[in-house]
């Protein structure tokens, strides 16, 4: 299985209402230094991959308001700075 497919499988395993960071995905895929490539994979991901559940390590959102709206619909809460509050996904 190639790296992008590993990324997609990991992201699909994150339940609604939870988030995971790019670095966590890279680590779980066996390539802890490839967080940037996780972003590349998500940029071209299939429609069934819940990309909105992937956030930066500090809980901030790379895709802004659209991503925040999707996560809020799943029950994810944010602090005053727009960063995700727990729960983070633990694989």
Q: What CATH number labels 3-73?
A: 1.10.10.10
State pLDDT tens for residues 4-63: 999 999 999 999 999 999 999 999 999 999 999 999 999 999 999 999 999 999 999 999
Residue whose entry in the numeric block shows the structure tokens 């959102």: 61
Give residue limits of the domains in the chain: 3-73
Q: Measured between alpha carbons, how far is 27 from 42 in angstroms, rounded to an integer?
A: 16
Q: Please report the pLDDT score of residue 88 as a whole number.
A: 66
């Amino acid at each position: 299985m190639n790296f992008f497919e590993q990324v997609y499988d990991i992201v699909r395993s994150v339940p609604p209402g939870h988030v995971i960071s790019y670095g966590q995905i890279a680590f779980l895929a066996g390539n802890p230094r490839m967080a940037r490539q996780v972003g590349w994979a998500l940029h071209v991901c299939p429609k069934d991959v819940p990309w909105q559940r992937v956030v930066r390590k500090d809980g901030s959102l790379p895709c802004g308001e659209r991503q925040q709206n999707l996560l809020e619909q799943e029950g994810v809460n944010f602090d005053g700075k727009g960063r995700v509050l727990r729960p983070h996904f633990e694989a």
